[in-house]
Chains A and B, each alone.
Chain A
Amino acid sequence: MSLKSMVTGLTAAVAISLSFGVNAADTSSWSKDTVSGETDQAMHLEPDLENGRDIFEVCSACHMPEGWGMTDGTFPQLAGQHRPVLIKQLADIRALNRDNPTMYPFALPESIGDEQALADVTAYIEKLPMNPENGKGEWAEGTPEFEQGKKLYADNCVRCHGDHGEGNKEKFYPRIEGQHYAYMLRQFEWIRDGKRRNANPDMVDQIKNFTDKDMKMVINYVSRVLVDKKDLAPSANWTNPDFD
């Protein structure tokens, strides 16, 4: 499929999802600092997917041309993440709310560009199909640890991240289904221990008594949730045709 045809095919879908995200955007206090000004503006702009692809090229060095990151968790999967979440995280990285020196230079306006560029690249990323073989935790379905993780998830996470980890676009709650286990474990620990300073205070409160084992069990469960086939690439060998 050529870039052009892919771009045309996606434009309609993006226009719909955009107008949706914009109207419902949450403005509660925890996200106010980084969701304002230019990031707010980025969410309202009409994205140019072809330019988004061009900007994504440099990102692909680490996040891979498919946006799948690495299963060992060095780089997160970005494909399929909600646009408002991507925009907020980029703003937070830039504001040094996440200890992420490797990613930092790429979140700066000098490299990524202006609000329009931010709108373009995040729209492009959101539409990429996800990795059907994400990195998973060690406990398969049926083991006691898997079942315990499932219970922990139902009791502590569903209200924000949804029944199957789909997140909530309007409220900046990240999609966590299909994400790599090792990456999520690191982020979860950082959120629990206050190292991710942009974290949602209600989540921090919810998980403050989690032991390391609880944490592993719940993330193991999340990493094994089955993602809807329509959001996945047809196979793990799929390559992004935009980067032939």
Chain B
Amino acid sequence: MSKIRRLAVVMSAVAALMTGATAAAADGAALFKAKTCWSCHGKDAKTPLMPFYPSLAGQNAEYMFNQMKDIKSGARSNGNTAAMKGVMGLVNEEEMRVIADWLATLQ
């Protein structure tokens, strides 16, 4: 866990330097990387690992937040959600919110 946190800290520092974006946006990018999300959804959140995995860049934030919560709880368990459920223990609601807000800002 400490390693992930360390990575998150480094990543947010880098992201903030590069873009001068707000702390929240930098955290969203860092979390998306540190919490494994990019491995399936792609570094840019729109080149998914499998052609039938969703692209997330620019999707509605509230919608995504709710999907994350439902995939984590199992309320949504259709399609390929089982793949994602295995990593959702790594994020809490606050972090999901930050990631969703950040994803929504992407093109």
Contacts and interface: CB of A to CB of B under 8 A. Distances in A.
Interface string B76-107: 00001011111101100000000000000000
Is chain A's binding surface mostly helix, strand, loop or mixed? loop
Interface in B21-55: 33, 36, 38-40, 49-50, 53
A110 interface: yes
A111 B39 CA distance: 10
B85 A110 contact: no
A111 B84 CA distance: 16
Contacts of A64: 3
A106 interface: yes
B1 interface: yes
B38 A101 contact: no
Contact of B86 (A68, A71, A101, A110): A101
Contacts of A100: 86
Contacts of A104: 83
Contacts of A110: 50
Interface residues of A, number: 20
Interface in A94-108: 100-106, 108
Given A62-B39, A110-B50, A101 B90 contact: no
Contact of B50 (A62, A72, A111): A111
Contact of B49 (A62, A103, A105): A105
A72 B83 contact: no
Contacts of B4: 70
A62 B83 CA distance: 13
A52 B48 CA distance: 21
A8 interface: no
Contacts of A62: 36, 39, 87
A148 B33 CA distance: 42
Contacts of B85: 101-102
24 contacts: A58-B39, A61-B38, A61-B39, A62-B39, A62-B87, A68-B3, A71-B1, A72-B1, A74-B86, A74-B89, A74-B90, A100-B86, A101-B82, A101-B85, A101-B86, A102-B86, A105-B40, A105-B49, A105-B53, A105-B83, A106-B39, A106-B49, A111-B49, A111-B50
Interface of B: 1, 3-4, 33, 36, 38-40, 49-50, 53, 80, 82-87, 89-90
Interface of A: 58-59, 61-62, 64, 68, 70-72, 74, 100-106, 108, 110-111
